Structure 1
């Protein structure tokens, strides 16, 4: 994974970025200093490539510079549509995308980023009203598969290695397994599928497998389903937004501060572009 380069950075990685931008047609001096001209060149390239225009040079920008297929990646037009749908200004949606997303929605083509949660799997199995002697069955499964069904969080493999865990969990119960993972750019838990308007857990999974635009759509649905979250976004109440979306740890992790700073930067860029 490429480290994200931004305004103020210096070094060999910035030189590589500048060289790639020059090959793509930018008029730049390759000096290893990510200044305002380099930021402007990044944004101009992102606009031409159809990527999110944020001036941040991460993996997606480098992939596009290398000529990779970026068709499944999030695009500027996707954020514009999301802002219109939510009745929020584009800078606010861009700030949320920057701070609250993973940055990359896929581990590999067709493999959306996931994290399987064994404690959620246990909870979902215990909700199966059609099973007799449900607690006994779940207890037996928990004893046999502690890495997949457990009272405590943990057991993570990370990255693509989460997929074998998901596959084994599907052998126990496919819908519960899908519901027990977080999915895509915005780490939306699968158990939200019904509340977000999907036909089934597999339908939600299929949507997540298709594109980052679908990841954003799920996130938009998530915001629409929570009036307080939606209101906070439209009013730029970043402390309220972070408290609702990130939970009690929002302040310790400075999510509200990060959102405010990102919003100010994107608002400035959009105003300059206008």
Structure 2
């Protein structure tokens, strides 16, 4: 299910609800159903007040904070992105661009579990590498063990697939899914410095901040990817991060536009 994100230019009842929430929390705007510059600025003020990522767009986390008068401590915060940018040696706008374009949206499902996508072909590979009879497992559990990609169900059902896979081998199951906002594959756990697959999963379950930590480690572990991010070589970054199909979704163009937009916003926020 696609996450609703309200931004400049949006109209309708969803914007009316957002504007009413802003007013209830003290961020005064005219309730007219038009997501104009005034509404965007009020959203940015609310995000800054709650410690959320300041981007002027109202997604699930911003709406949750407005409805509840505060942010969920598991949500990604502006301070997390600032720390990540400093650690990687890149502009904050670059990290914000990646966060906006390359993430799956919220890092957690409504159930409170981290988002994941289970890859049955990876499960086959990991089982074989662990010395297990992957072919036999594929015959018994074709939806979670296969030489072919697919079987995706999305959302909460992915957890059912994962839990089925844990009955075969818990560590291989963790390694065979991409986890959290940044879709980091579990089999990277050792290269990223985690003590075990189980520790990696525990961190993914903790917070979006920890999901960002896994992303930062992933970038640090790939000098070419880090160089592309530092140089804002968006096509190279998108190719290495998303694979050769990045052009189909125009990830490089989206990253460049998001970077320019966030850079402009940061300059505008600096007093003359």
Range of TM-score over shorter length: over 0.9
CA distance in 1, matches of 2:169, 2:249: 35
**1:233-248 equivalence runs, <5 A:** 233-248=229-244
| Residue 87 of structure 2: aligned partner | 85
CA contact (8 A) 2:229 2:237 kept: yes
| Residue 52 of structure 1: aligned partner | 53
1:35-71: CA deviations, max 9, x gaps?
1111100000000011110111011111001106511
CA contact (8 A) 1:110 1:210 kept: no
CA distance in 2, matches of 1:108, 1:3: 14
| Residue 188 of structure 1: aligned partner | 184
Aligned length in residues: 268
| Residue 258 of structure 1: aligned partner | 254
Runs of 4+ in 1 over 4 A off after TM superposition: none
| Residue 269 of structure 1: aligned partner | 265
Shift of 1:110: 4.3
Q: 1:210 aligns with which of 198, 206, 212?
A: 206
1:151-193: CA deviations, max 9, x gaps?
1111122111111211111111111000001100011000000
| Residue 19 of structure 1: aligned partner | 20
| Larger CA deviation: 112-121 vs 62-71 | 62-71
**1:69-218 equivalence runs, <5 A:** 70-108=72-110, 110-128=112-130, 131=131, 134=132, 137-218=133-214
Shift of 1:109: 5.3
CA distance in 1, matches of 2:111, 2:217: 24
CA distance in 1, matches of 2:135, 2:160: 22
1:109 to 1:72, Cα distance in 2 relative to 1, 3 A: farther
CA distance in 1, matches of 2:71, 2:41: 23
SS in 1 for 2:178: strand
TM-score normalized by the length of structure 2 = 0.96
Q: Give unpaired runs (5+ residues) of structure 2.
A: none
1:148 to 1:234, Cα distance in 2 relative to 1, 3 A: same
| Residue 245 of structure 2: aligned partner | 249
CA RMSD of aligned residues (A): 1.2
Shift of 1:27: 2.3
1:230-250: CA deviations, max 9, x gaps?
011111111111111111111
Q: Give unpaired runs (5+ residues) of structure 1.
A: none
Shift of 1:2: 5.0
CA contact (8 A) 2:3 2:105 kept: no
